């Protein structure tokens, strides 16, 4: 049986795996964000180093910047120019502090010297599917 446990940058699912009976029947898949959370969050209810035994690399993935089709920037240069012209007005969704997407956006913000606003969501699908709530 597959049981998805999204939320808290994947740490909720990791906790379920960490607390499962050590019988070889419970497997979890970790992303980079969940490993990052282990060093950023001192209040996890499990120890990533001792709770899990790595088995295999399953996949690799890249991160991309997505915008709605009607967004006025069509490429990264236009996005940077727009964000600089409207400081604090451009928002980005992420699955929350410490998640890979959040850290990538934060690095982009710092490198490009942008004033943009993060809107945290519980999960990646929620951040991706969120409707436009601008006034």
Q: Which domains occur in the chain, in start order?
A: 8-51 (no CATH), 76-129 (3.40.190.10)
**Quick check: 62 and 70 in contact, CB under 8 A?**
no
**pTM for the model:** 0.66
Rounded CA separation 40/37 (Å): 5
Section 33-40 average pLDDT: 80
The pLDDT, as a whole number, for residue 135 is 41
| CA 71 to mean position of chain CA atoms | 22
Section 125-129 average pLDDT: 83
Residue 24, token pair as written in the block? 């070889």
Residue-wise pLDDT tens digits, 58-115:
988 888 888 888 999 999 999 999 999 999 999 988 887 777 888 889 999 999 999 9
- Round the average pLDDT of the chain to a whole number and report it: 87
Nearest to 35 by CA among 81, 117, 85, 100: 100
Paired residues of 94 in beta bridges: 120
Rounded CA separation 99/40 (Å): 10
The pLDDT, as a whole number, for residue 106 is 93
């Amino acid at each position: 049986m597959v049981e998805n446990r999204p939320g808290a940058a994947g740490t909720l699912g990791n906790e379920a795996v960490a607390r499962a009976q050590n019988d070889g029947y419970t497997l979890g898949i970790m992303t980079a964000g969940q490993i990052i959370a282990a060093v950023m969050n001192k209040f996890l209810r499990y120890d990533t180093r001792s709770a899990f035994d790595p088995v295999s690399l399953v996949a690799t993935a890249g991160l991309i910047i997505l915008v709605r089709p009607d967004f006025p920037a069509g490429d990264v240069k236009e996005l940077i120019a727009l964000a600089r012209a409207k400081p604090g007005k451009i928002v980005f969704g992420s699955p929350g502090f410490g998640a890979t997407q959040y850290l990538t956006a934060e690095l982009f913000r710092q490198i490009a010297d942008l004033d943009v606003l993060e809107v945290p969501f519980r999960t990646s699908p929620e951040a991706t599917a969120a409707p436009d709530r601008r006034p």
